[in-house]
Structure 1
Amino acid sequence: MTIVILGSGNVATHLGKAFHTFGHQILQVYSRDKANAEALASLLNADAVDTITDVTDKADFYLIAVADKAIEQVVDQLAEPITGIVVHCSGATNSNVLARFPLYGVVYPVQSLRKDIPTSLENIPFGIEGNNMEISDSLLRLMQHIAVRSFLCDSKQRLALHIAAVFVNNFSNVLFQVANQILQEQNLSFDLLKPIVLETAQNVQTRTPKDVQTGPAERGDTETIKKHLQFLIKNPHWLKIYQQLTEEITRNKR
């Protein structure tokens, strides 16, 4: 398969390398920053272009791997005669943003990827959607060679998955930041929490989150909760977070 990659960031880099490794021919890498295009193109034995009108219309597959806010702009600027499959990689963007092309879809990695961190894509789930069943099946076969856990999902399911990923990844990490600051103020190291962080993550690999919920809110330990709230009263932001999460745990008690 001949491929054009539009973008040179994290997802573009990981998928570009994977496609190249599996024998696909990367024709071009497009980026508005020529240096970035050249850096990725050099890894993929591809041509680098920084003008979108120079993107060939002869490829079998076009991977739009840019920031969500830039997808529509890239789509609008691509040449009309493109007959290959055009996909984006966004979790929150509907597939119909690509509807001006006859063949289109989505390949969404349920993972935060960094181009400077080597990551195997093999076991990362990819949500796959095509504008018809034939394209869906083609994209699924393509991606399952790279990521065996790829699966079909529609745009609404993908949005739900993206929101859920924000909860477990982005929101959990900002809670780690809060915890780190609480400890730092008492001259304690975040290293002290790393075993419980790992235990929590390991528990939900085999059981549901609800089944492994612990803590004072789950136990109905109001005295401990009062002590925590009093400790946090000097920081209204943290106090509000604690109260809201405590209410959510209480509401969902087993």
Structure 2
Amino acid sequence: MKITILGSGNVATHLGKALFKAGHCISEVYSRNLANAQALALLLNAKAIDNLASLADDADIYLIAVSDHAIETVTSQLPSTLRGIAVHCSGATSIDVLGRFEQYGVIYPPQTLKKENDTQMAAIAFGIEGYPSATEDLLHQLVHEFAPNSFRCNSQQRLALHTAAVFANNFTNSLFQISYELLQAQGLPFDLLHPIMQETVQKATQHEPRTVQTGPAQRGDHVTIEKHLNFISEKPNWVKIYQQLTEEITSKKGN
């Protein structure tokens, strides 16, 4: 299959490499920054361009792997008569943004991808959506070549997956940072928490998380909760987070 990649960042790089390794022809790589396009094109044996007006019109797929806020800008510059399938990679952007094309779809990886990391794409379950149904079938088959756990989902389901990933990944990492700073302030190393962090993730992947919830909020230990709140009282944001999460845990008790 002949594929044009619009974008040269993290997602474009990983998807480009996976598709190239699967035997597909990456014909062009577009970026507003020609040097960035050239760097990725060199890896994929493709032509680098920095002007959408010069885009070839014979690709089977136009993979729009740019930031969410840039998707509409890029798609608006593509001809509506595009014969190939227009595909974006966003979790939070509806498929409808591509509705002016005859064939369109979404390939969304619920995973943090970095150029410098050697991510195992086969372990990622991509969310696949396409219109018409034959296009979805084709995209599903394409992604299954390098990511066999991928599945079909609509825009609402994909948004739920993206939101859930923010809670599970981004917010959790922010809580890790709070823990790091709490320990650092008392001259304690963060690796003291590594065992409990690893155990928490392991249990959450093996059970419904609420069934393995522990801690003072789960026990209704108000004395300990007040001690914690007093201890972090100089950090109002931390107090709010602690209180809100305590309320969330308490609300799940008995459910």
Cα RMSD of the aligned pairs, angstroms, is: 0.8
How far is 1:42 from its partner? 0.2
Q: Does 1:53 align with 2:23?
A: no
Of the structure 1 ranges 75-84 and 164-173, higher mean CA displacement relative to structure 2 is found in 75-84
**Runs of 4+ more than 4 Å apart:** none
Q: Does 1:241 align with 2:241?
A: yes
Quote the residue 1:176 is aligned against: 176
- State the one-letter code of the partner of 1:89: C
Quote the residue 1:66 is aligned against: 66
Quote the residue 2:92 is aligned against: 92
1:8-157 matches, within 5 Å, as: 8-157=8-157
Q: TM-score, normalised by structure 2?
A: 0.98
Of the structure 1 ranges 44-53 and 127-136, higher mean CA displacement relative to structure 2 is found in 127-136
| SS of corresponding position for 2:206 | coil
Distance in 2 (CA, whole Å) between partners of 1:33 and 1:67 is 14
The answer to whether the 8 A contact 2:81-2:102 is kept is no
Distance in 2 (CA, whole Å) between partners of 1:82 and 1:240 is 50
Task: String of CA shifts for 1:174-220, please: whole Å, max 9, x gaps.
Answer: 11111111111111111111111111111112111111111010111
Of the structure 1 ranges 132-141 and 95-104, higher mean CA displacement relative to structure 2 is found in 132-141
Distance in 1 (CA, whole Å) between partners of 2:230 and 2:80 is 63
How far is 1:104 from its partner? 0.1
The answer to whether the 8 A contact 1:83-1:102 is kept is yes
The answer to whether the 8 A contact 2:10-2:113 is kept is yes
Count of residue pairs brought into register by the alignment: 254
- State the one-letter code of the partner of 1:166: V
How far is 1:232 from its partner? 1.0
How far is 1:81 from its partner? 3.0
The answer to whether the 8 A contact 1:3-1:26 is kept is yes
Distance in 2 (CA, whole Å) between partners of 1:21 and 1:140 is 17
Distance in 1 (CA, whole Å) between partners of 2:139 and 2:211 is 36
Q: Does 1:162 align with 2:134?
A: no
How far is 1:154 from its partner? 0.3
How far is 1:224 from its partner? 0.8
How far is 1:55 from its partner? 1.2
Distance in 2 (CA, whole Å) between partners of 1:167 and 1:118 is 24
The answer to whether the 8 A contact 1:111-1:124 is kept is yes
Quote the residue 2:202 is aligned against: 202
The runs of 5 or more residues in structure 1 that have no matched partner are none
The answer to whether the 8 A contact 1:90-1:108 is kept is yes
The answer to whether the 8 A contact 1:53-1:79 is kept is no
Distance in 2 (CA, whole Å) between partners of 1:231 and 1:195 is 24
How far is 1:11 from its partner? 0.5
Distance in 1 (CA, whole Å) between partners of 2:197 and 2:170 is 15
How far is 1:100 from its partner? 1.3
The answer to whether the 8 A contact 1:217-1:250 is kept is yes
Q: TM-score, normalised by structure 1?
A: 0.98
Distance in 2 (CA, whole Å) between partners of 1:26 and 1:208 is 42
The runs of 5 or more residues in structure 2 that have no matched partner are none
